[in-house]
Amino acid sequence: MSDWVARIAGERDAFAVFMQSAEDWAAFAVWSGGKLVRSLSLNPSSGIIEDVGERLAFENDFWAGRKSVRSAESYDLPFHPIDLGNEALREFFGFILEGREDESCIDPEEVEIPAFRIL
């Protein structure tokens, strides 16, 4: 998939965020200049599945323990992956799907995406 994204994006930056709440799984990736520069995928049952590139600024509070899981004493990760996924959404796209929105968030339901078909 990474090769496909790099090919489609060309020299432009590309961002992806994936979350699956049933498994507490989240992943995100960033490509720049056609190259993967950051990718992270993790869930509590598998741990860190992939951790490529330098951590991004929005990740720092999670890794430093300032965004720890409050409700589970024996959670297998230092933070909840869905919380990190939502911060990735906010950072890359300006909205979140779960959690507390702030004034900087847009409402994704209000964004119209045009679609075109070549006949």
User: What is the rounded distance in angstroms from the CA atom of residue 6 to the CA atom of residue 33?
Assistant: 8
Q: How is the chain split into domains, by residue range? A: 2-110
Amino acid at 33: G
User: What is the rounded distance in angstroms from the CA atom of residue 45 to the CA atom of residue 66?
Assistant: 22
User: What is the rounded distance in angstroms from the CA atom of residue 97 to the CA atom of residue 11?
Assistant: 29
Tell me the whole-structure pTM to 2 decimals: 0.81
Half-sphere exposure of 104 toward its Cβ, with a 13 Å CA cutoff?
8
Residue 118: pLDDT over 90 = no
The predicted-structure confidence for 66-116, as pLDDT tens digits, reads as follows 888 766 567 888 899 999 999 999 899 888 776 666 666 666 666 777 777
What are the tokens at 56?
């991004």
User: What is the rounded distance in angstroms from the CA atom of residue 119 to the CA atom of residue 83?
Assistant: 43
